[in-house]
Structure 1
Amino acid sequence: MVFVPLLVVSVWLLCSCAGSPPNFVLLFADDLGFGDLASYGHPSSLTPNLDRLAAGGLRFTDFYCTSPVCSPSRASLLTGRYQTRSGIYPGVLYPGSIGGLPLNETTIAEVLKPLGYATAVVGKWHLGYGADGMFLPTKQGFDQYLGIPYSHDMGPCWNLTCFPPDVKCFGTCDLGTVTVPLMHNEVIKQQPVNFLDLEKAYSDFAVNFITTSVMKKQPFFLYYPSHHTHYPQYAGSMAAGKSLRGPFGDALLEFDSTVGDLLATLEKTGVINNTLIFFTSDNGPELMRMSRGGNAGPLKCGKGTTYEGGMREPAIAYWPGTIRPGVTHEMASTLDILPTIASLAGAKLPQVMLDGVDMAEILFHQGKSKRETMMFYPIDPSEMYGLFALRLGKYKAHFYTQGATHSATTPDKDCPGFAVLKAHNPPLIFDLESDPSENYHLPVEERPDLQALLERIKKVKEQFEATMVFGESQISKGTNPNLAPCCNPQCSPKPSCCHCQ
């Protein structure tokens, strides 16, 4: 017998009787660290709208993504499956990548579509473009899309920034690289994208989508994977120079302003009390950028690593009148978002191996999580090495450790790229409740209780890896420059002719 919490049943019945299933708004920040928000301890971040979500919603302290870099993390979020199953590894997809998120993978949007949901994504896709745009969101269950199909730094002069009044979005370097496009559905609307107006375009699009859906009395799913706060940051005139944290803070403030626009629209249209808003981030901060890269708070290392700073994220669930404000220390993951949304909407789960679990008990009762474990794969997972780390309850075991270029510049010698791959036998075990910074590994040899724990961890690892079938690597299919998006596909010479305003 499956136990369904009473509150979940009452919420579902209320929505069903009223003829209005719950709406979902999924906010996904980019390279935002565990310590970057005021609600997570940062002393100078200016984010009034995210602060409102944190104060009025449920804030997670032990929430994880599945990869310390962008594309695989996004694949897991949308499918509820580790990236190793879908083949989004090693690393990330590029403008000319041949592969992408396989079309036989089922996204949250595709789970909701049979129930009549309107679906839209605005922002950073980064799950492939492919031949003739075959991997775009419109091929994966989304009715509408406005955004950049990959990371916004994948154009000429990727290290330049875009802030008024000293605007320098592009320069004279990397001229053999196609400029970054802004796509509407499957058509390039602008190339190169105007970064100074981009967030307003995103906000207007999202506001219109919500308003139109409500007018049509259609339940909706809005996925907003922001480019902020990935380096190089950008911001328009309303946010530039307005924060206390320089370019990073300005970008974060601009993202926050869009969150405010969405909240205001949900209130104005009268659906905020029937909408679950969930906020989190794709991976940890890019510490190599120093103050421009974000902050992991007390956690060890950052982007690119399987230490806590690379994969433990801020996360907030907000649903006025349904989710009680508070803080939970229960373990949860981006993997759990798909099954949770499916449960609330009354949708069928995909008939595949899912790695996510329903978070209803945490969200509505601040009760225990169904998740006992979290698996940690590196940027370049392989069947030969398997898991780099595993968390069981409050304990985390590192079987392998390795630094990353993304986490350079910190004083910690374990974080940079020159911290080479190390195998640990027995694994390094940390108590994350008393030592979230992973500073002091426990003396397994001296404590019989830890030896019993280690045996249990090894058994859980063995059982999990027996279920893991690695999908064909989409990123190893390589790149073809001719696949990079161009608004004038037949023009010459490329890429300089790929220019539309």
Structure 2
Amino acid sequence: MEWVTAALLALLVPDCLAATRPNFVLLFADDLGYGDLGFSGHPSSLTPNLDRLAANGLRFTDFYVTSPVCSPSRASLLTGRYQTRSGIYPGVLYPGSRGGLPLNETTIAEVLKPLGYATAIMGKWHLGYGANGTYLPTRQGFDHYLGIPYSHDMGPCQNLTCFPPDVKCFGYCDQGVVTVPLMSLDTIIQQPVDFVNLDDAYRDFATRFIRTAAEAQQPFFLYYPSHHTHYPQFAGWKSVGRSLRGPFGDSLLEFDSTIGDILQTLDETGVLKNTLVFFTSDNGPELMRMSRGGNSGLLKCGKGTTYEGGMREPAIAYWPGVIKPGVTHSLSSTLDILPTFAKLAGAPLPKVQLDGVEMTDILFNHGPGKREAMFFYPTDPSEKYSVFAVRWGKYKAHYYTRGATHSGTTPDKDCSVFAFLRQHDPPLLFDLESDPSENYNLTLKNFPEWATVQNKIQDLKAAFEASMEFGESEIGKGTDPTLEPCCNPECSPKPKCCQCGTVGY
């Protein structure tokens, strides 16, 4: 028997949609591994608010991103399309990149805005800056924006404070580019950014946005792609030294604390029970940072690879009174978030080839869902090699494998950058239910159903590849140092040129 509340029935009846459109809060962690959180078993992570979401929401065990690095993963999340279609490949966008998420791509914000939604983003954009801010969130459907337009290590950090009272950031980050800016809408308000007080600014931003929308009885979409726990980790006074896990743990705790403040504001404004909160991460942990990186738990390798540790992520859907708490093993992806939000809001889907499927059967019935397969692209997808791996049901086939710099330092030789590209014919085949660590290759000798499973996966792969049209590579357009954002219009792209004072948030 399907479990459907009165609130859900109201949402799914078209005549009631205008009055009952739900709010959406999308929480997106950075470089967070499958084994990093308290609820997933990490012994020293302190994540009380995410643990509460997991205990009282629906926890996904088989949830995937589309890329093991930042920019392409974020493009797929916001558009419901593989990054190969939008051109966000190979690798990631940089401060001076000429390209960015094409303006003809439709984001979640652009799907919701025509229905009267207020839209806001705070945190890491990383989908392009461009000439005169061409690719900023304000050009992609977001009414409000406070954040850093790319990864916060993309600027010199050796003299910046990452933890109070004056603990300098670990490492040097990128050199020879402008210091990292903080932006409000399309204006730089601080450069270099103040890491110690950054999340306080985000808390204030989120609180004001939610309260304003709630008072106006306007549905809203808040997207919080956090900089935590990407290198270099940072945290403010409220979190520093509080975890048992050192800098990574303190950074994770600050992210968790901001989530707690968002939940408290939703509750205080009376909109919590009409809000779907969804949490996941952009890709696996950067294992090369060792204890200052994340942890993929029992999964193989991490960031930069198409093994499970690179692309399988923790995920939670939380909606009190609507989504029944529990655990789902249904195959799901960030691709599925846009069509799900669109269905719940009563919004039409973009008139393009979508790769996502809506997840309402999973959310409300704990059912199997509509996703049949997941396709794994490397950081540098190409039509020559196409997908590296395919998951169907509980099985995953690797046609190509390769290690990555991001996943170095682990004892597993398959994770290192020196694990060069290897083609597998026949493909490696793993049963991820009994072997989530991808240790034991299934062969015809030890698995009688090998041929049946492999033929099915091969058919899915062939059909998917036939449907894929690679968009022009935005990252392939190259970089121009004059495009690097700087608060001083006369500056040249050198680390010491930009010294904006704090204008305010």
Which residue does 2:63 correspond to in 1?
63
Aligned to 1:253, the other structure's residue is in SS state: helix
Determine if contact 1:60/1:329 at 8 Å carries over to the other structure: yes
Q: Could you give the per-residue CA deviations for residues 47-87 of structure 1, whole angstroms, max 9, x where no partner exists?
A: 11111101110000000011000000000000000000000
Which residue does 1:336 correspond to in 2?
336
User: Match for 2:255: what amino acid?
Assistant: F
Which residue does 1:152 correspond to in 2?
152
Q: Could you give the per-residue CA deviations for residues 380-413 of structure 1, whole angstroms, max 9, x where no partner exists?
A: 0000000000001100000000000000010001
Q: Could you give the per-residue CA deviations for residues 304-332 of structure 1, whole angstroms, max 9, x where no partner exists?
A: 00000000000000000000010111110
Determine if contact 1:148/1:181 at 8 Å carries over to the other structure: yes
User: Match for 1:488: what amino acid?
Assistant: N
Determine if contact 1:169/1:195 at 8 Å carries over to the other structure: no
1:305 aligns to 2:305 (yes or no) = yes
Which residue does 1:404 correspond to in 2?
404
Counterparts of 1:170 and 1:406 in 2: how far apart (Å)? 17
Q: How many angstroms does 1:164 deviate by? A: 1.4
Counterparts of 1:266 and 1:14 in 2: how far apart (Å)? 25
Which residue does 2:113 correspond to in 1?
113
User: Match for 2:409: what amino acid?
Assistant: T
Which residue does 1:353 correspond to in 2?
353
Aligned to 2:44, the other structure's residue is in SS state: coil
Which residue does 2:265 correspond to in 1?
265
* Between 55-64 and 483-492, the greater mean CA deviation after superposition: 483-492
Counterparts of 1:18 and 1:141 in 2: how far apart (Å)? 20
Counterparts of 2:106 and 2:173 in 1: how far apart (Å)? 39
Determine if contact 2:178/2:493 at 8 Å carries over to the other structure: no
Counterparts of 2:105 and 2:289 in 1: how far apart (Å)? 34
Counterparts of 2:55 and 2:124 in 1: how far apart (Å)? 27
Cα root mean square deviation, aligned: 1.9
Gaps in structure 2 of 5+ consecutive residues: none
Determine if contact 2:119/2:143 at 8 Å carries over to the other structure: yes
Instruction: Map residues 289-438 of structure 1 onto 2, 5 A cutoff.
Output: 289-438=289-438
Which residue does 2:25 correspond to in 1?
25
Which residue does 1:12 correspond to in 2?
12
Which residue does 2:439 correspond to in 1?
439
Counterparts of 1:493 and 1:395 in 2: how far apart (Å)? 48
Counterparts of 1:407 and 1:170 in 2: how far apart (Å)? 18
Counterparts of 2:172 and 2:113 in 1: how far apart (Å)? 45
Counterparts of 2:226 and 2:367 in 1: how far apart (Å)? 30
Aligned to 1:63, the other structure's residue is in SS state: strand
Which residue does 2:488 correspond to in 1?
488
Q: Could you give the per-residue CA deviations for residues 155-208 of structure 1, whole angstroms, max 9, x where no partner exists?
A: 114697611123324999976320100000000010111000000001100111
Determine if contact 2:158/2:168 at 8 Å carries over to the other structure: no
Which residue does 1:164 correspond to in 2?
164
**TM-score in terms of structure 1 length:** 0.96
Which residue does 1:87 correspond to in 2?
87
Determine if contact 2:4/2:364 at 8 Å carries over to the other structure: no
Q: How many angstroms does 1:499 deviate by? A: 1.9
Which residue does 1:280 correspond to in 2?
280
Q: How many angstroms does 1:455 deviate by? A: 1.1
Aligned to 2:403, the other structure's residue is in SS state: coil
Structure 1 residues 15 and 237, CA gap change in structure 2 (3 angstroms): farther
* Between 146-155 and 41-50, the greater mean CA deviation after superposition: 41-50
Q: How many angstroms does 1:9 deviate by? A: 3.9
**TM-score in terms of structure 2 length:** 0.95
Aligned to 1:39, the other structure's residue is in SS state: coil
Structure 1 residues 88 and 17, CA gap change in structure 2 (3 angstroms): closer
Percent identical? 73
User: Match for 1:191: what amino acid?
Assistant: Q
Which residue does 1:225 correspond to in 2?
225
Counterparts of 1:50 and 1:353 in 2: how far apart (Å)? 33
Aligned to 2:95, the other structure's residue is in SS state: coil
Determine if contact 1:5/1:360 at 8 Å carries over to the other structure: no
Counterparts of 1:172 and 1:415 in 2: how far apart (Å)? 24
Q: Could you give the per-residue CA deviations for residues 79-121 of structure 1, whole angstroms, max 9, x where no partner exists?
A: 0000000000000000000000000000000000100000000
User: Match for 1:404: what amino acid?
Assistant: A
Counterparts of 1:79 and 1:323 in 2: how far apart (Å)? 24
Counterparts of 2:277 and 2:439 in 1: how far apart (Å)? 34
* Between 291-300 and 153-162, the greater mean CA deviation after superposition: 153-162
Determine if contact 2:484/2:493 at 8 Å carries over to the other structure: no
Determine if contact 1:160/1:232 at 8 Å carries over to the other structure: no
Counterparts of 2:15 and 2:231 in 1: how far apart (Å)? 41
Which residue does 1:236 correspond to in 2?
236
Counterparts of 2:226 and 2:174 in 1: how far apart (Å)? 25
Counterparts of 1:20 and 1:147 in 2: how far apart (Å)? 30
Q: How many angstroms does 1:489 deviate by? A: 1.4
User: Match for 1:80: what amino acid?
Assistant: G
Which residue does 1:450 correspond to in 2?
450
Instruction: Map residues 28-39 of structure 1 onto 2, 5 A cutoff.
Output: 28-39=28-39
Counterparts of 1:45 and 1:306 in 2: how far apart (Å)? 25
User: Match for 2:328: what amino acid?
Assistant: T
Aligned to 1:330, the other structure's residue is in SS state: coil
Which residue does 1:215 correspond to in 2?
215
Aligned to 2:464, the other structure's residue is in SS state: helix
Counterparts of 1:222 and 1:123 in 2: how far apart (Å)? 11
1:202 aligns to 2:206 (yes or no) = no
* Between 453-462 and 5-14, the greater mean CA deviation after superposition: 5-14
Counterparts of 2:375 and 2:172 in 1: how far apart (Å)? 43
1:134 aligns to 2:141 (yes or no) = no
Gaps in structure 1 of 5+ consecutive residues: none
Paired positions, count: 498
Q: How many angstroms does 1:496 deviate by? A: 2.8
